Chains A and B, each alone.
Chain A
Amino acid sequence: MALTADEVRYIARLARVALTGDEVERMREQLSNILDHFQALNDVPTDDVPPTAQSLDLANVDRPDQTHPPADREQVLANAPRRENGFLRVRAVLEA
């Protein structure tokens, strides 16, 4: 399963990961090689087999709906790259 450079750039765009030209080529080779090995799955018949998302029998776990004090704002913002007046600062999403 050989990926093209355009396909690699498309996946990188979906993943929001900027790649250099060298990285695109290396990623193309390495991902193509890994995808080849995935063909092994086609040898396993699974026509009537349900999928497993996780290995536990638990479903719909709930707990009492109790209030708790929220995390302290200053602590939460201490790791923020950009902040202003007690808020996270982000770039404008819609350009003027």
Chain B
Amino acid sequence: MATLDLDVPAHEHAARMRAGDYTARALAEATLARIRAQEPALHAYVTITEELARAQADAADARLRAGDAAPLVGIPVGVKDLLCTRGVRTTASSRMLERFVPFYDCTVVERLQAAGAVIVGKTNLDEFAMGSSTEHSAFGPTRNPWDLERVPGGSSGGSAATVAARGVPISLGTDTGGSIRQPAALCGILGLKPTYGRVSRYGVVAFASSLDQVGPFGRDAEDVANLLGAIAGHDERDSTTVPVPVPDYTAGFARGLAGLRVGVPEQFLERGLGPGVREAIEEAIAVFEHAGAIIDRSVALPTAGAALAVYYIIAPSEASANLARYDGVKYGFAVTDGASVEAEMSETRGRGFGSEVKRRIMLGTYALSAGYYDAYYLKAQKVRTVITREFESAFAEHDVILTPTSPTTAFRLGEKLEDPYAMYLNDLFTIPVNISGDPAISIPCGFADGLPVGLQLIGRHFDEATLLAAANAYGEATDAGKASPAALP
């Protein structure tokens, strides 16, 4: 009989609970105890949902006793505090929504519950998912479990940090410009941004609607595959979800890396990489090659470098419209003693939003304002077409494209806080994929100076299965991603 060990992946918990080694309730209690012990140092959560977790764990135990074979029954999961949860406050890590309690669940949380998962808490993020370090949370930053003086990445930093710290085996984040993949890389775990249209955004606090996707974090490919399988698929309440059948994402795991056509665009390895990043990526490429993958370094994505500018026009423009709803009338923070309607609204937004959110609303408002629309927004949308076409032609001859996930490893708290553009450069390699809508996964591929490095695999639209099969084969071929951070209880 195996003892209760929180360091094992979710699929191992599932097997042990079915063998009768321990109950979902016992796993939930041990998980809550570890999270409580880690929180003072890590601050990965905005809200810990103990009562909800206990009720869901007891329900999961009933399902386990009845022989339910679904992979997530009884598995503890953290969900980004951008996802609406019925009766549990959903803050987006903003003062604006500090006391907002939704009366409905978002679709992905509904699906998690139908799958039998146990929600242990709402994880910290950069306010409204705007940021790359989780320092823009109104409730204080999350720390990186590998070095508590460093950031976990962002915006889904809480979801990544708690999985890396062995608090929960799996979690959900959202990715608009890299907000799943970059923190996965900086925390040494896996994180997948699904194809735009693969996962419902109904009930997810909106940031940039042509880019946002919900996706899974985990410590191995099988867990990520099972979590994606549970949340993916068409949803009548989100008209951007596509009625493409959801496959069994673990079904292709046997095929390995032999014959996989991997494009490696040299331009992503040439400039601005932190020390040790290129070496870790090259070692990973050698593993792929040794396992039979066909590496092609001649693939070019000449316009990908312009994706950062495209993103920082399109995303703030969409955000400026989406965040217009926070006006102090229907819900959220409100200033009610202003001199006029307009003064109250402006004060509500001026005091309720943090600095990065205000910066992006301003940028988007400017880009959409009379006289600038053609020069900024329309131009960005045209360059978006050029970038998308380059990916399409690259995928005519390659199954996946391999790049570093982030130019650097985890940086120190405060290091980039005063220079917004330096912060934006974190997303240089992840943003092109949001622009094109393609799926991409970040996989841990070793360390540079003791800090995790992530590699990114980009795939064709709706071909998450190939990314997960490659991630699984790479994970089995190396020790990368298996080490645990030492510093936490």
Q: Which residues does A use to contact B, with CB under 8 Å?
A: 8, 11-20, 23, 27, 30-31, 33-35, 37-38, 40-44, 46, 49-56, 58, 61, 63, 71-72, 75-76, 78-82, 88, 90-93, 95
Contacts and interface: CB of A to CB of B under 8 A. Distances in A.
Given A44-B303, A49-B382, A56 B309 contact: no
Nearest to A12: B362
B352 to A, nearest CB: 10
Interface in B315-336: 320, 324, 327-334, 336
Contacts of B99: 79
Interface stretch (B48-56, B281-289, B340-348, B441-449): B340-348
15 contacts: A14-B365, A16-B324, A23-B355, A38-B312, A40-B309, A52-B382, A55-B196, A55-B197, A56-B437, A58-B197, A58-B240, A71-B104, A78-B101, A80-B329, A91-B340
A31 B355 CA distance: 12
Question: Interface residues of A: mostly helix, strand, loop or mixed?
Answer: loop
Nearest to B100: A79
Contacts of A61: 239-240
B148 interface: no
Contacts of B310: 41
Contacts of B209: 54
B382 A50 contact: yes
A31 B363 contact: yes
Interface in B339-361: 340-347, 349-351, 353, 355, 358-359, 361
Contacts of B341: 90-93
The 8 closest A-B pairs by CB, nearest first: A55-B437, A18-B350, A51-B381, A81-B334, A79-B331, A46-B382, A75-B103, A18-B346
Contact of A54 (B196, B340, B343, B366): B196
Contact of B436 (A8, A51, A55): A55
Contacts of A52: 381-382, 384-385, 388
A44 B420 CA distance: 24
Contacts of B309: 37-38, 40-41
Contact of A15 (B320, B347, B383): B320
A80 B358 contact: no
Given A38-B376, A46-B386, A18 B103 contact: no
Contact of B359 (A13, A31, A46, A55): A31
Contacts of A80: 329-331
Contact of A41 (B100, B306, B327): B306
With a 10 A CB-CB cut-off, give which of A38, A76, A78, A88 has the most chain B CB atoms. A38
Nearest to A93: B341
A30 B242 CA distance: 39
B308 interface: yes
Interface in B229-254: 236, 239-240, 242
Q: How large is the interface on B (under 10, 10 to 19, 20 to 34, 35 or more residues)?
A: 35 or more
Contact of B366 (A11, A16, A82, A92): A11
Contacts of B265: none
Contacts of A40: 305-306, 308-309
Contacts of A82: 329, 334, 336
B421 A16 contact: no
Contacts of A27: 358-359, 362
Contacts of B106: none
A37 B126 CA distance: 23
A20 B448 CA distance: 42
B358 A55 contact: no
A1 to B, nearest CB: 10
B313 interface: yes
B103 A41 contact: no
Contacts of B384: 51-52
A28 B31 CA distance: 46
B390 to A, nearest CB: 11
Contacts of B328: 81
A33 to B, nearest CB: 6
A72 B353 CA distance: 29
A76 B99 CA distance: 14
A4 B330 CA distance: 34
Given A63-B236, A81-B334, 5 more contacts: A34-B312, A50-B385, A55-B196, A55-B436, A81-B336
B380 interface: yes
Contact of B383 (A44, A56, A72, A79): A44
A87 B382 CA distance: 45
A19 B350 contact: yes
Contacts of A46: 379, 382-383, 385-386
Interface in B51-96: none
A37 B380 CA distance: 13
Contacts of B435: 55
A71 B84 CA distance: 15
Contacts of A90: 329, 341
B393 interface: no
B233 to A, nearest CB: 15
A72 B103 contact: yes
Contact of A16 (B104, B327, B329, B424): B327
A79 B359 contact: no
Interface in B376-430: 376, 378-386, 388, 420-421, 424
